[in-house]
C-alpha cells in the first residue's frame, strides 16, 4: 500500500507542498475548511471594493486538477492522535496517515479582549473582506441620508487598529475609496471629508522595516489623508467606535489588524510553542519527537538563527515546497534535504494605489518604484494564470479610471464577530473514513 | 423651483429613464433598495459559478456619475400618496414629486404555495445567485464524503421548476457544471452522473417560442443530460426535494423559476392590474387618471394590441427611454411623444455554453448561430464598458478552458426563503426629507 500523506490547509504552504508532491508514489489528501485557495496579500483590495473575490481565490479542485495522486476533502481538522498516526476531524472522523503536514495558518488575536470580536472586523477570509466592504459602502449610503451632523460624522469615520502591513494597506485603501473613487458620487455628503484613523500601539508603524522607511510610509499615508496615531493602546471597542489612549473616536467601523495567533497545532501535539502559539519546529520543519509530522507557514515557528521567520506568504510557500520535496524523497527512498533555508526576497507594504515601501536584498525602496516591485512580486505569487489575467484587467481598469470594480453591496454580510455560517461544510456522521 | 422627478428602481427601466433625463432641467432622485444595477439576463451564470457578481452588476453611483441632475438614495419605497404627490418610503419618510416613474420590476410567485419559499431557491438578485452557487458546489463536496448511496444520489440531483428562459438557462448551466467543469475533479463521486431535472407544467418548454424551436431547445437540453419533464405540476416542495405529478424526486436543491408576479405598484395606486399584478398603463405608460405617474418594465402591463408586452429587458429599457424623453419634453415645454411603440428585437434562450434558440425579426435560429446572436445582444445590453471587457475576459477564459471562473464557496449564503438581511439599507428616523 502506498504511503498516505495528509496536508491540512490549502493556503500558500499547503498548496506548495501538494505541488511538490504531485509525482510522488503516494496517496495524498488535502483538507481545507473552504473549497478555495485564497491569495491573502490582496484580500484588502476585496475589502476596499477594488477586486472581486474570484480575482484572488481559486477552487482547490481546479488548482490541483492535474495532481492525480491527490484527493481533496472539504472538512475541518480538530486534532492529531500522534501515537495512532491519525488526524481527527471535527465531525468525528479519523484519517490515518504516514506523513502529516499542518499548514493551518493563523487567526486574529484580540490580546485577551475577546469581547471586542463582536464589534471589530478582521481580514482573513473572503467573507471577512466582503463584510468590511459592506460596512464601508453602507456607511456612505447611510451618511448620505443622515440629518444628524454628529451621526453623519461618525458614519464617515473609519478606524484601523494595527500598524503592520495589513493595517497600513487597509487604511490606505479606505482613504482612497473615500477621497478618490467615491469623491464626487454623493450629493449631501463630501466623502473626501471621511476620516481614516490608523492606531498603532508602538512608537512607529511597520516595525519590520527600517525606521526611515516607516517614516516614509507614515508620510505617504498622511498625504492620502490618513491620521496615524502611534504610542497609544486601544482601551475599548464597542458598536459605535473605540477608545484609544484617552481619546474617544466614534466610527462607522473598527477594523482590527493588530495581532495574530497561530492556529492550535502546538496544542494538538502537546508541543512547545512560541509566544503567539506557533509550534516550534526542527530545522526540517518537523515537530520535535515526531519526524513524520510537519508544520509550515504561520502555524509554525521556525528559528532561522536570528529569531523566528516572519508569518509571510513566501515563507509558507518555500517551506511547503521544502517539506513536499523532503517527503517525496523519503517515499522514493532517496536522500532527503535536511534543513530548510529561507530565501528572503524582501518585505513590502503597499500604500494606496501607487506607493509602497520595500526592503529587497538590502535595497530600501519607496514610492512608485517600490509599488512596481510590490505589484510584480505579488502578481507572480498568484498561483494560477487565470487569476493573473483577471487581476491585470481589473487593476488596469481601476488604475486608469480611478474606478472601483467591485463596489457592490449585497445583503449577506455578517455582523462583526458573527460566527460564519460555514456553508457547504459537509455534515457527515462519524463513520470511520477509508 | 425645478420640477422633481422620482424614479423608483435601478433596473433596465429605471436606468434608461435616468439616462434619457440627464440633460433635463429638473431634479431627479433615483431610489433603489440596493446600491447597484444588475444585468439580470446573466445572473444564471453567477449562479452557475461562471461569472462573478461584479461582472454583471455596477454601482448605481458609478453608472450615473455624469448625471449632474440626479441624486441617488438607497432606500425602499412602500407606497404612493397620489393625491399629495408623495412617494412613501418604508422608513416613514415621504418624498414629494412632480413626476414619478415606477420601475420596480417583478418577484417570483409560488402560485399561492408560499410555504415552498422556505425550500426553493429563486434567481432574482446577486444574493439569490450566490445562494444557488453555494448550494450547488456544497452538494458535490458533501456527496464526495457521503457513504450512504441514497443520500449521495440525492446530493447529486438538482431540480429546476419552470420551463421558461430562466429555467432552461439554469438547467443547462447546472448540467454543464456537473458534466464538464467538475467532471474530473472528484475521487469518490462521478459528477457526470449528476441528475438535472427540468419540470414544466405545460406541454412544452419555452412557450414564447414557436413549437419547433421549443423542441430543438428540449433536444439540446437532453443532449446536455437534462431530463425534461413536461405536462405535470409540482405538488410539493420540501427540504429534501419535490413531488411532481405522482413522482417523488429527492434533490439537493430545488430551483424555482416558474412564475413571477409584479411588485405592488397597482396596489399602491388602487389601479387596475393584470393577472400577474402588473399595473395596466396607458399608451404613454402613465397610470390611468394619473398623467404624471408612470410605470414601466415588469411592474407594468402595456397592451401592445395583441396582448401585454412580455417582461423582457429590452421592453423595460425602451419604455424607460420613452418615458424619460416624454417627461424631459414636458419639462422643457416641448411637444412630447404620445404613444410607446416596442421594437421587438427578438427573443432568445441560451442552452449551455454554446447553444441557444432565438427568434429575431421573423428568423428562427438555433444552435451555435443563435448563441452568437444571443451573446452579441447581451453583451451590447450591458450598460457599461468595464463590465463588457471584464465579462469578455472571463467568458473567453471559460470558453477555452471549460473552466469556471468563480467556483467559490463562501460562508454567507442564505438558506432558501431566508429573509435577506438587507445590509446597508439605511435605518433613518422618519424625518421629512427635503
Nearest to A59 among B407, B426, B429 (CB): B407
Nearest to B35 among A146, A409, A431 (CB): A409
Euclidean distance between CA atoms B116 and B109, whole angstroms: 10
User: Across the A/B interface, how many CB contacts are shorter than 8 Å?
Assistant: 207
Domain match, A314 and A366 both: no
**Torsion sign across C-alpha atoms A321, A322, A328, A329:** positive
pLDDT band at A397; cut points 50, 70, 90 = low
Instruction: Give A36 to chain B, closest Cα distance, Å.
Output: 6
Domain match, B178 and B242 both: yes
CB–CB contact A34 B186 (8 Å) = no
Q: Which residues span the domain enclosing B288?
A: 4-33+75-108+260-332
Euclidean distance between CA atoms B426 and B58, whole angstroms: 20
Closest chain B residue to A61, measured at CA: B185
**CB contacts, 8 Å: A130 with chain B:** 410, 412
Domain match, A211 and A354 both: yes
CB–CB contact B408 A59 (8 Å) = yes
pLDDT band at B431; cut points 50, 70, 90 = very low
Euclidean distance between CA atoms A322 and A74, whole angstroms: 25
The radius of gyration of chain A's CA atoms, rounded to the nearest angstrom, is: 22
* Beta bridge mates, A230: A200
**B84 pLDDT more than 80:** yes
pLDDT band at B422; cut points 50, 70, 90 = very low
**CB contacts, 8 Å: A411 with chain B:** 34, 125, 127, 420-424
Span A270-298, pLDDT tens digits: 999 999 999 999 999 999 999 999 999 99
Q: Count structural domains, chain A.
A: 2
pLDDT band at B390; cut points 50, 70, 90 = low
**CB contacts, 8 Å: B414 with chain A:** 412
Residue A381 DSSP SS3:
helix
Euclidean distance between CA atoms B428 and B90, whole angstroms: 10
CB–CB contact A138 B52 (8 Å) = no
pLDDT band at A424; cut points 50, 70, 90 = very low
Nearest to B36 among A62, A142, A408 (CB): A408
Indicate left, alpha or beta for B181 from its phi (over 0: left) and psi (-120 to 50: alpha). alpha
pLDDT of residue A420: 43
Instruction: Give A300 to chain B, closest Cα distance, Å.
Output: 26
pLDDT of residue A433: 31
CB–CB contact A145 B428 (8 Å) = yes
**CB contacts, 8 Å: B184 with chain A:** 65
**Long-range contacts, stretch A149-155, CB < 8 angstroms, 24+ apart:** A150/A250, A152/A189, A153/A195, A153/A250, A154/A240, A154/A241, A154/A250, A154/A251, A154/A252, A155/A252
pLDDT of residue B129: 93
> Which three cell numbers, joined as nine digits, stand for A114?
475577546
Nearest to B403 among A137, A138, A386 (CB): A386
Q: Where are the alpha helices (DSSP H) in B3-125?
A: 12-20, 43-47, 53-56, 60-63
Q: How large is the average pLDDT for residues A147-162?
A: 97
**B394 pLDDT more than 80:** no
Yes or no: say if A407 and B65 are a contact pair by the CB < 8 Å rule. no
Domain match, B191 and B153 both: yes
**CB contacts, 8 Å: B37 with chain A:** none
Residue B103 DSSP SS3:
coil
pLDDT of residue A394: 61
Domain match, B245 and B387 both: yes
Report ipTM for this prediction: 0.88
pLDDT band at A383; cut points 50, 70, 90 = low
Mark B126-161 as b/e (b = at least 16 C-beta within 10 Å).
bbbbbbbbbbbbbbbbbbbbbeeeebbbbbbbbbbb
Among B279, B304, B332, identify where a domain stops: B332
Domain match, A356 and A236 both: yes
Mean pLDDT of chain A, nearest integer: 88
> Which three cell numbers, joined as nine digits, stand for A196?
481614516
pLDDT of residue B387: 61
Asked whether residue A63 is domain-assigned, the answer is no
Domain match, A200 and A323 both: no
Euclidean distance between CA atoms B352 and B179, whole angstroms: 11
Residue A284 DSSP SS3:
coil
Q: Which of A61, A69, A181, A400 to mutate to test the interface with B (most CBs of B within 10 A)?
A: A61
Q: How large is the average pLDDT for residues B86-90?
A: 96
Domain match, A235 and A148 both: yes
CB–CB contact A423 B407 (8 Å) = no
**A331 pLDDT more than 80:** yes
Nearest to B421 among A57, A411, A431 (CB): A411
Euclidean distance between CA atoms A421 and B413, whole angstroms: 8
Q: Which of B59, B76, B253 to mutate to test the interface with A (most CBs of A within 10 A)?
A: B59
pLDDT of residue B240: 95
For residue A8, what are the CA distances in angstroms to A299, B147, B410? 11, 22, 19
Euclidean distance between CA atoms A304 and A283, whole angstroms: 8
**Torsion sign across C-alpha atoms B31, B36, B41, B45:** negative
- Percentage of chain A modeled with pLDDT above 70: 88
Yes or no: say if A258 and A278 are a contact pair by the CB < 8 Å rule. no
Q: Which of B50, B54, B389 to mutate to test the interface with A (most CBs of A within 10 A)?
A: B54
Closest chain B residue to A401, measured at CA: B386
Domain match, B85 and B12 both: yes
Asked whether residue B274 is domain-assigned, the answer is yes
Euclidean distance between CA atoms B95 and B28, whole angstroms: 12
Q: Backbone phi, then psi, for B325, in 5-degree steps?
A: -70, -35
Q: How large is the average pLDDT for residues A171-199?
A: 95
CB–CB contact B405 A413 (8 Å) = no
Q: How large is the average pLDDT for residues B240-251?
A: 96
Asked whether residue A55 is domain-assigned, the answer is no
CB–CB contact B423 A411 (8 Å) = yes
Asked whether residue A182 is domain-assigned, the answer is yes
pLDDT of residue B395: 60
Q: How large is the average pLDDT for residues A358-377?
A: 86
CB–CB contact A413 B412 (8 Å) = yes
Euclidean distance between CA atoms A101 and A8, whole angstroms: 6
pLDDT of residue B430: 32
Euclidean distance between CA atoms B56 and A281, whole angstroms: 47
The verdict on whether B359 is a catalytic residue reads no
- Percentage of chain B modeled with pLDDT above 90: 70
CB–CB contact B393 A397 (8 Å) = no
CB–CB contact B412 A423 (8 Å) = yes
Span B305-360, pLDDT tens digits: 989 999 999 999 999 999 999 999 999 999 988 999 999 878 888 888 788 999 88
CB–CB contact B185 A401 (8 Å) = no
Neighbours of A44 (CB within 10 A): 26
Q: How large is the average pLDDT for residues A386-412?
A: 62
pLDDT band at A363; cut points 50, 70, 90 = confident
Closest chain B residue to A144, measured at CA: B73
Nearest to B409 among A55, A130, A423 (CB): A423
pLDDT of residue A55: 80
Euclidean distance between CA atoms B44 and A53, whole angstroms: 18
Which residue is catalytic, options B169, B200, B261, B359? B169
Mind telling me the catalytic residues of A? 169
The pTM of this model reads: 0.90
CB–CB contact B408 A35 (8 Å) = yes
- Percentage of chain A modeled with pLDDT above 90: 71
pLDDT of residue B26: 98
Instruction: Give B70 to chain A, closest Cα distance, Å.
Output: 9
- Domain with residue A100: its CATH number is 3.50.50.60
Among A274, A307, A332, identify where a domain stops: A332
pLDDT band at A58; cut points 50, 70, 90 = confident
Instruction: Give B425 to chain A, closest Cα distance, Å.
Output: 7
Asked whether residue A61 is domain-assigned, the answer is no
Asked whether residue B65 is domain-assigned, the answer is no
Closest chain B residue to A181, measured at CA: B62
User: Residue for cell digits 449577506?
Assistant: A412
Of the listed ranges A17-26, A118-127, A257-266, B46-55, the least confidently predicted one is: B46-55
pLDDT of residue A224: 93
CB–CB contact A422 B406 (8 Å) = no
pLDDT of residue B5: 98
pLDDT of residue B348: 87
Instruction: Give B329 to chain A, closest Cα distance, Å.
Output: 25
Nearest to B53 among A52, A182, A420 (CB): A52
**B389 pLDDT more than 70:** no
pLDDT of residue B345: 79
**A95 pLDDT more than 70:** yes
Neighbours of B325 (CB within 10 A): 17
Asked whether residue B302 is domain-assigned, the answer is yes
Domain match, A136 and A234 both: yes
Residue A322 DSSP SS3:
helix
pLDDT band at A126; cut points 50, 70, 90 = very high
pLDDT of residue B424: 44
Instruction: Give B293 to chain A, closest Cα distance, Å.
Output: 25
Span B248-292, pLDDT tens digits: 999 999 999 998 899 999 999 999 999 999 999 999 999 999 999
pLDDT of residue B298: 96
Indicate left, alpha or beta for B362 from its phi (over 0: left) and psi (-120 to 50: alpha). left
Mean pLDDT of chain B, nearest integer: 88
Domain match, A144 and A252 both: yes
Residues in chain B: 434
**CB contacts, 8 Å: B125 with chain A:** 410-411
**CB contacts, 8 Å: B145 with chain A:** 73-75, 426, 428, 433
Strand B195-200 and strand B157-161: the pairing is parallel
Nearest to B411 among A74, A127, A187 (CB): A127
Q: How large is the average pLDDT for residues B236-248?
A: 95
| Largest separation between any pair of C-alpha atoms in chain A | 74
CB–CB contact B412 A404 (8 Å) = no
Q: How large is the average pLDDT for residues B359-369?
A: 87
Euclidean distance between CA atoms B240 and B179, whole angstroms: 23
Asked whether residue B286 is domain-assigned, the answer is yes
**A20 pLDDT more than 80:** yes
CB–CB contact A146 B428 (8 Å) = yes
- Domain with residue A365: its CATH number is 3.50.50.100
**A387 pLDDT more than 70:** no
Yes or no: say if A123 and A43 are a contact pair by the CB < 8 Å rule. yes
Domain match, A243 and A275 both: no
Amino acid at each position: 500500500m502506498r504511503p498516505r500523506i495528509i496536508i491540512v490547509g490549502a493556503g500558500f504552504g499547503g498548496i506548495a507542498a501538494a505541488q511538490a508532491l504531485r509525482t510522488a508514489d503516494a496517496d495524498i489528501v488535502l483538507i481545507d475548511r473552504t473549497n478555495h485557495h485564497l491569495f491573502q496579500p490582496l484580500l484588502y483590495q476585496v475589502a476596499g471594493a477594488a477586486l472581486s473575490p474570484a480575482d484572488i481565490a481559486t477552487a482547490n479542485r481546479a488548482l490541483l486538477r492535474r495532481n492525480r495522486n491527490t484527493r481533496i476533502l472539504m472538512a475541518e481538522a480538530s486534532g492529531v492522535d500522534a501515537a495512532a498516526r491519525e488526524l481527527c476531524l471535527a465531525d468525528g472522523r479519523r484519517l490515518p496517515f504516514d506523513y502529516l503536514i499542518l499548514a493551518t495558518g493563523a487567526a486574529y488575536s484580540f490580546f485577551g479582549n475577546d469581547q471586542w470580536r463582536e464589534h471589530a472586523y478582521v481580514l482573513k477570509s473572503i467573507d471577512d473582506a466582503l463584510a468590511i466592504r459592506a460596512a464601508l459602502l453602507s456607511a456612505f449610503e447611510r451618511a448620505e441620508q443622515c440629518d444628524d451632523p454628529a451621526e453623519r460624522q461618525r458614519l464617515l469615520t473609519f478606524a484601523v487598529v494595527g500598524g503592520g502591513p495589513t493595517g497600513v494597506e487597509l487604511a490606505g485603501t479606505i482613504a482612497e475609496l473615500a477621497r478618490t473613487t467615491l469623491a464626487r458620487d454623493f450629493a449631501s455628503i463630501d466623502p473626501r471629508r471621511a476620516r481614516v484613523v490608523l492606531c498603532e500601539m508602538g512608537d512607529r508603524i511597520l516595525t519590520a522595516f527600517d525606521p526611515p522607511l516607516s517614516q516614509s510610509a507614515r508620510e505617504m499615508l498622511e498625504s492620502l489623508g490618513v491620521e496615524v496615531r502611534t504610542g497609544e493602546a486601544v482601551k475599548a471597542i464597542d458598536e459605535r467606535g473605540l477608545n484609544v489612549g484617552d481619546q474617544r473616536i466614534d466610527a462607522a467601523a473598527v477594523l482590527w489588524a493588530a495581532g495574530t495567533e497561530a492556529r492550535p497545532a502546538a496544542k494538538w501535539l502537546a508541543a512547545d510553542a512560541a509566544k503567539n502559539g506557533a509550534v516550534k519546529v526542527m530545522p526540517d520543519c518537523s515537530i520535535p519527537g515526531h519526524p513524520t509530522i510537519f508544520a509550515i507557514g504561520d502555524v509554525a515557528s521556525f528559528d532561522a538563527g536570528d529569531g523566528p521567520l516572519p508569518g509571510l506568504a513566501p515563507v509558507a510557500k518555500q517551506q511547503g515546497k521544502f517539506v513536499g520535496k523532503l517527503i517525496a524523497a523519503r517515499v522514493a527512498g532517496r536522500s532527503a534535504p535536511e534543513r530548510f533555508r529561507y530565501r528572503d526576497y524582501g518585505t513590502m507594504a503597499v500604500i494606496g494605489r501607487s506607493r509602497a515601501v520595500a526592503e529587497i536584498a538590502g535595497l530600501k525602496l519607496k514610492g512608485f518604484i517600490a509599488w512596481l516591485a510590490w505589484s510584480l512580486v505579488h502578481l507572480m505569487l498568484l498561483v494560477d494564470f487565470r487569476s493573473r489575467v483577471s487581476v491585470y484587467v481589473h487593476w488596469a481598469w481601476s488604475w486608469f479610471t480611478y474606478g472601483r470594480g467591485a463596489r457592490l453591496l449585497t445583503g449577506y454580510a455578517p455582523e462583526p464577530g458573527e460566527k460564519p455560517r460555514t456553508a457547504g461544510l459537509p455534515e457527515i456522521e462519524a463513520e470511520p473514513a477509508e
